[in-house]
Amino acid sequence: MTLQVVSDPPGAVVLIDGKKQALRTPSLFKVERKDKLAVRVEKDGFRPYEEAVTVAADETEKAVVATLASTRVAGAQLRVRTNVKKATWKLDGQPVGDGTGMLALKDLTPGQHQVAVEAKGFDPKQEAVELSPNGLAALDWTLTALTPARRPGSGKTAASGKKPTRPASEEDVNSTSGWPPR
Is 37 among the domain residues?
yes
Judge if pTM exceeds 0.75: no
CA 171 – CA 52 distance, rounded (Å): 102
Confidence of residue 134 (pLDDT cuts 50, 70, 90): confident
Q: What is the rounded average pLDDT of the residues 50-60?
A: 95
Is 169 among the domain residues?
no
Phi, psi of 170 (to 5 degrees): -60, -35
The number of domains in the chain is: 2
Per-residue confidence (pLDDT) for residue 75, from 0 to 100: 84
Q: What is the rounded average pLDDT of the residues 44-72?
A: 93
pLDDT in tens, 70-115: 887 778 999 999 999 999 999 999 999 999 999 999 989 889 999 9
Per-residue confidence (pLDDT) for residue 22, from 0 to 100: 96
pLDDT of 133 above 90? no
CA 50 – CA 47 distance, rounded (Å): 10
Domain that holds residue 11: 2-67
> CB-based contacts of 90: which residues, under 8 Å, 6+ apart?
96, 114, 115, 116, 117
Per-residue confidence (pLDDT) for residue 158, from 0 to 100: 47
pLDDT of 180 above 60? no
91 and 61 fall within a common domain: no
Q: What is the rounded average pLDDT of the residues 59-74?
A: 90
105 and 54 fall within a common domain: no
Do the strands 36-42 and 13-16 form a parallel or antiparallel pair, or are they unpaired? antiparallel
Strand order, beta sheet including 100-108: 100-108, 76-86, 136-141
| Upper half-sphere CA count for residue 72 (Cβ side, 13 Å) | 12
60 and 82 fall within a common domain: no
If one compares 73 and 119, the residue with the highest pLDDT of the two is: 119
Do the strands 76-86 and 100-108 form a parallel or antiparallel pair, or are they unpaired? antiparallel
Is 36 among the domain residues?
yes
pLDDT in tens, 1-33: 999 999 999 999 999 999 999 999 999 999 998
**CATH label of the domain that carries residue 53:** 2.60.40.1120
59 and 94 fall within a common domain: no
Per-residue confidence (pLDDT) for residue 178, from 0 to 100: 54
6 and 38 fall within a common domain: yes
Mark 27-58 as b/e (b = at least 16 C-beta within 10 Å). Answer: bebebeeeeebebbbbbeebeebeeebebeee
Q: Where are the beta strands (DSSP E) in the chain?
A: 2-8, 13-16, 19-24, 27-30, 36-42, 49-54, 61-67, 76-86, 88-91, 94-96, 100-108, 111-118, 125-131, 136-141
